[in-house]
Chain A
């Protein structure tokens, strides 16, 4: 039905440097280096910043156009989706270098691990499909056709389904992880991009870049129950293009990067009210909290820097230059 044979270019998943198998990773331990890892689309690199003074510790060369970054489950490695390199590069945090890669993935963009770590769900932008990679076999075991330009991917916490946005179909698709079938297509605001799940798993928030909004999906009924519109002062609706979203662990606050509007919205989750808009750099793209949630790192795609926000003060305390067209930050603390 909806299952397609894997596309030719997504078939071959080879290992360049077979050094560490994924099963043995669990024996290693997280380092909590305090480093901040930032992918830069046009530098083909991940910049590593010191967590205290934000100086550049190292620039790690990756495949072409690295975008989404994610830790493996014990935080010893970082996976980086390299869109033009057609690979998922695996960075060893203790070595600060690419030690392995999953090859021949056609234009990977965003991805998420299944809760048990067995699978990587990855949006294949050019193919209009979601790919499923078996992390142990290092094989693409499934591709599922969705709307064109899939972007945000999130595995449901119970492992039973995967959510994926289609920027072109204006939809969130839900895929069942046993049958690999589409079980729901939920229409949301235009050009949906990224997800955040409330800690109680009851609400899935999805940003819509062309609708200056976040749609809130009720996960019990798979329907949009509310929409939060963003209207930072002095900006017209067409300049408010939310993309990145992250939430605090207590489920009280969501931070949404406003894209072209150069601000981050601070949303009170319970009341749906935007409490504050914090000025950051140009084209605020993705936003990530550190572990104790005292700092928010906002990646600015058009000013090639990262804004570091003190979340208590609600102010930028530092702007750190990184590579060209930075996409996303990940904090190892």
Chain B
């Protein structure tokens, strides 16, 4: 009853307002509908159709750390948040979503968008495709954001001045876990490592973190995903986990083996890494720093929880619009140097104002230590200090960086 009343009243009011506006055409200080009659700044969003990371079966499995959908979803949520960011420049923002069939097409897709005036690109690409593409774009006056490749090398040996990373690297995630384990004095860790190249990258990152934070890796054992009784020593978690350790680090980039490790160990061991306690860029359960509001906005629109890569795409779009709002400029040179400047503080919704590391264009940010339905801790953990910014206790610090622009 009341509902209908209000609705009628409102439509009347709206009607009268429309009449008023049409009649007198008095725009109020130019702050009408944010995108009415404004210049549009297009942000390119590029992904691969055949990206194996989003295969239906894999998404359905919901392994920990697994994307639950394409991160374009995150960019869409950000677009709504930036509707006022271009006010002073008379700009509104839009996303140009481009899906390439093959990695070889990527370079052309970027060129097409470039011809159409696009200078900012949010990329959802696997590490290899991204590295190949980025090389071809090195000299261009554009800004690229990596939002779904964790590989540390992209920030280091493969780094380039116009490639930014909002997604944390393997190194940052491993350091967060390292801080947690040592803060609990769970010092002795066994590594179970899968056969894939990406699994080795996980082990490598965790080994560096272990050294950095004083953990002791008791042994590294290879696992295989199989039921072959002849390989029992490699596929049976009880046998694999034999020994005296506080925690077992599972290096499984695919997740299928990792999923079946908790509660299967010989002794009551803690599982970390790809299962159990997992370092993440984002988790739906994080309930501080405005995170629930962002999560609610995301779920309302996309009917699924927000994951790491959604968050990274959201963050990239926000970083672009934030830089434009702060510098009041759309000039690529101005904006890319502002991105890594000290005054460019970004709100990650994870606490701590974050910023891009000027030495490798990685966004420094808090990392969440997560279980299936909770965030146990947020790194940097209290007590882990750094001479300039505590967020730099996570990932490659300036003095260790191999990146030379």
Contacts and interface: CB of A to CB of B under 8 A. Distances in A.
* Chain B binds chain A: yes
Interface of A: 1-3, 5-6, 11-14, 125-126, 128, 139-141, 146-149, 166-171, 176, 179, 181-185, 187, 190-191, 210-211, 236-239, 260
B14 interface: yes
A210 B29 contact: no
A125 B293 contact: yes
A176 B13 CA distance: 16
Interface stretch (B81-89, B90-98, B200-208, B252-260): B81-89
B17 A185 contact: no
A190 B293 contact: no
B218 interface: no
Interface residues on B, range: 35 or more
B10 A238 contact: no
A210 B353 CA distance: 6
Given A6-B10, A140-B6, 10 more contacts: A1-B21, A2-B32, A3-B14, A3-B17, A5-B11, A12-B2, A148-B81, A187-B88, A187-B325, A210-B353
Interface SS majority for chain B = helix
B377 to A, nearest CB: 15
26 contacts: A1-B28, A2-B32, A5-B7, A11-B3, A14-B2, A125-B293, A139-B5, A141-B6, A146-B84, A148-B80, A148-B81, A148-B297, A168-B81, A169-B82, A182-B31, A183-B29, A184-B31, A185-B84, A187-B87, A187-B325, A190-B353, A210-B353, A236-B389, A238-B352, A238-B389, A260-B351
B53 to A, nearest CB: 29
Interface of B: 2-3, 5-7, 9-11, 13-14, 17, 21, 28-29, 31-33, 80-85, 87-88, 290, 293, 296-297, 300, 322, 325, 345, 347, 351-353, 389-391
Q: Which of B290, B300, B390 has the most CB of A within 10 A?
A: B290
Contact of B84 (A14, A147, A211, A238): A147
Nearest to A171: B84
Contacts of A2: 31-33
Contacts of A191: 347
B397 to A, nearest CB: 16
A166 B84 contact: yes
A43 B11 CA distance: 40
B28 A183 contact: yes
Contacts of B88: 187
Contacts of A140: 6
Given A125-B293, A169-B83, A210 B347 contact: yes
Nearest to B348: A210
Contacts of B391: 238
Contacts of B80: 128, 148
Contact of A184 (B29, B322, B390): B29
A148 B297 CA distance: 10
Closest 4 A-B residue pairs measured CB to CB? A169-B84, A238-B353, A147-B84, A182-B31
Contacts of A5: 7, 10-11, 14
Contact of A183 (B7, B31, B83, B389): B31
A94 B32 CA distance: 46
B345 A170 contact: no
